[in-house]
Amino acid sequence: MADAVVIGAGISGAATAYQLAKDGLDVVLLDRFSPAAMASGWTLAGVRQSGRHAAELPLARAAVAIWETLAEELEGETHYRRSGNLRVARDDAEIAIIRGVVQDQASAGLDITLLPDNRAVRGVAPALSERALLASYCTSDGSADPVATVQSFVRAAERRGATCRFGERALVIETVAGRARAVVTDKSRIATRRVVIAAGIFGNELLKSFGVHVPLQVPVVTVLRSAPGARVLEPVISTATATCTGRQEHDGRWRVTNGAEAWRGTLIEEKGERGLPRPRVNPTAASMVDVVTRFGALVPAFREAAIEQSWAGLLDLAPDALPVLDAVPGCEGAFLAMGFSGHGFCLGPVTGKILSDFVQDRPVDLPLEPFALSRFQTSASATAPATLHG
């Protein structure tokens, strides 16, 4: 019998498996595809506190504190760079948003400042065009390499005894008298009394048998990634209304997105590395043009980049754009991390700690009330604004 089974090897599940293995539990980490095959690989991978909902800020700050030494801890690569985040305003409406963000978050103690005009913005990021009228600037924000980070979590978990099974899909959590007793997959049955569901957009499939449903929307974001190039940009650049975001990776590659759009396409399953299935969503031509138009207007150098890869990434968008971090009603021993709404990559290291504390029945030293599943039973939760990725 496994002490715990973690379903999903995105950053949330991989970080949870690592924490559990580190604490000496015999843990099985499952993924129907491979590590970072979905949002945790599709992501822009900004590691950002600025622009967060007040409820999420304590988690983001705790996460950023972990990111600083994460590569060392995992004895693996993360390519984490604390190179700052500029959230730019391009018109009066965006100016009002950015001024509000700076005021609120500075009074909450975040190291965020207002760059009040184009000159000040270009003083920090000379590659920006005149379209950037002002910006918020948070120097302790940054970014990381998502695939390298998730792989480092997985390897560190394995070194501590975790068993990883990829290309294996969890079908149902079996219970006896309302308590988890096994995870049944398409290949085996794993006996366990503790289960973590960190399955991203597929979380509801595993909750169905308990009559539980997280009211998610699944919009899509298009991503373009270039060949390596000369570095002209240090901070991550986003906009007040999150209609485009971009950065240069550690080797100078551009990684750039547009905003979230309704998804009408299909999730294709193709063959990936080591014969494992790999999910893919193809972006539309219009969305790729949109990325180039929006980000190119802000950072003209991006227009010269040689694009090597494009994909579309799906978001698990909750009505209030906040995640669910909670126990699963009707299944004692099962816990849930989903609905990260386009900003769960940064939180990954802290999500892993929270879920590992849930599993081990330990108190969590962070305010988690806003992430309770029960909030969807009240009408107040359904009033939320859109996601802010990046």
Least Å from the CB of residue 220 to ligand FAD: 8
In 3D space, the residue among 100, 94, 78 whose CA is nearest the CA of residue 154 turns out to be 78
Smallest separation (angstroms) from ligand FAD to the CB of 168? 7
Q: What are the Cα distances from residue 225, in Å, to 291, 309, 311? A: 11, 5, 9
Cβ closest to ligand FAD, residue 120 vs residue 267: 267
Q: Name which of 37 and 74 has its Cβ closer to ligand FAD.
A: 37
Give the nearer residue to ligand FAD in terms of CB position, either 70 or 378: 70
- State the nearest-atom distance from the C-beta of 108 to ligand FAD, in Å: 18
Residue closest to ligand FAD when measured from CB atoms: 10
Which of residues 116 and 277 has its CB atom nearest to ligand FAD in the complex? 277
Contact between residue 37 and residue 171 where contact means Cβ atoms under 8 Å apart:
no
| Residue 29: CB minimum distance to ligand FAD, A | 9
Q: Which residues pair with 246 in a beta bridge?
A: 237, 256
Identity of the residue, 80 or 379, whose beta carbon is nearer to ligand FAD in the bound complex: 80
Nearer to ligand FAD among residue 30 and residue 115 (C-beta): 30
- Alpha-carbon distance 177 to 138, whole Å? 50
Q: Select 24 or 189, whichever has its Cβ closest to ligand FAD.
A: 189
Residue 371 beta carbon to ligand FAD: minimum distance, rounded to whole angstroms: 13
Please say whether the beta carbons of 389 and 220 come within 8 A. Answer: no
Joined tokens for residue 339? 């609905």
Q: 97 or 120: whose CB is closer to ligand FAD? A: 97
Nearer to ligand FAD, 116 or 272 (CB): 272
Beta bridge partners of 85: 138, 236
Query: CB of 236: closest distance to ligand FAD in angstroms?
Result: 7
Chain-centroid distance, C-alpha 24? 26
Residues that bind ligand FAD in the complex, under the rule CB under 6 A: 7-13, 30-33, 37-40, 42-46, 169-170, 198-200, 202, 206, 221, 223, 257, 313, 315, 337, 340, 342-346, 389-390
Tokens, residue 179: 């308590």
Least Å distance, CB 119 to ligand FAD, is 27
Q: Minimum distance between the CB of residue 53 and ligand FAD, rounded to whole angstroms? A: 13
Least Cβ distance, residue 388 to ligand FAD (angstroms): 9
Cα separation, 110 vs 346, whole angstroms: 16
Least distance in angstroms from the C-beta of 12 to ligand FAD: 3
Nearer CB in complex with ligand FAD: 125/222: 222
